[in-house]
Amino acid sequence: MSKLLIVDDEVNIRAVVREYAEFEEYQVDEAENGMEAVEKCKQNDYDLIIMDVMMPKLDGYSASKEIKKHKNIPIIMLSARGEEYDKLFGFEIGVDDYVVKPFSPKELMARVKAVLMRSRASAPAPAEPQEEKRETLVFEGLEIDMAGREVYVDGKKASMTPKEYDLLFYLVRNKGLALTRDKLLESVWGYDFFGDDRTVDTHIKMLRNSLGEYRKFIVTLRGMGYKFDANAE
């Protein structure tokens, strides 16, 4: 049974989310502010956190950053603000999904299920007895260590979110192929109903910023999607 932590300063919201989560047979714990959430995560293990942004003592973004320092727990952020900047900031600190208030509890539970499935699917497999062969791809000053999940820009290690790595590696493995936004949602995020074009576009924007001048390799296909073009100028 998966264990969820619901973090919101509004008791009514916590009660509604708890009711729907327990109906889906999740084990539920609660916190009423970011500080309490951080302390609970130090003392307990959770499979997923549903975190409000605006809270007293410690806001949701700050709490998420602190939690991510110690444990890699998937986080779904709740916020009354739906601007691209807010979502972009959440994704940059490693948030897995972003739900705008007011929200449908049923949809939230579907997103919980999707994030949990992605989290389990991306969990590292048991190490093989033999040493894994390293595969490093080089495109001018961009080096991509596929097995080690490391990216170097002109010799300097890039700091990227897990989803940026996933997106870049998928683009590179399919270099030269035109990939629609729907295909990227399905293959990288593992679902295509709850995502939208903005999810892909936001992460592409983040990825390009991380790659510096080698952002040129990620080519926009107007009205369709993207592709990785190693010959792009």
Write the pLDDT tens digit of every residue in 146-192.
888 899 999 999 988 888 888 999 999 999 999 998 888 888 876 54
Q: Where are the domains of the chain?
A: 3-121, 136-228
Q: What is the structure's pLDDT at 189?
A: 75
Q: Which whole number is the average pLDDT over 183-202?
A: 72
Look up residue 168 and give its DSSP letter: H
What's the mean pLDDT when you consider all of the chain? Answer: 86
Q: Parallel, antiparallel, or unpaired for β 48-52 and 75-79? A: parallel
Q: What is the structure's pLDDT at 192?
A: 45
Considering the chain, what percentage of its residues have pLDDT values greater than 90? 55
pLDDT bracket for residue 117 (50, 70, 90): confident
Q: What is the structure's pLDDT at 195?
A: 52
How many residues in the chain?
Answer: 233
7 in Cβ contact with 29 (< 8 Å): no
Topology (CATH) of 136-228:
Arc Repressor Mutant, subunit A (1.10.10)
How many Å separate Cα 228 from the centre of its chain? Answer: 21
CATH of domain 3-121: 3.40.50.2300
Q: What is the structure's pLDDT at 193?
A: 44
- Residue 207, pLDDT > 70, answer yes
Topology agreement, domain 3-121 and domain 136-228: no
Collect all residues with Cβ–Cβ distance below 8 Å to 107 and sequence separation of at least 6.
99, 194
pLDDT bracket for residue 130 (50, 70, 90): very low
CA distance 77 to 71: 17
- Residue 77, pLDDT > 80, answer yes
Collect all residues with Cβ–Cβ distance below 8 Å to 90 and sequence separation of at least 6.
61, 64, 77, 79, 98
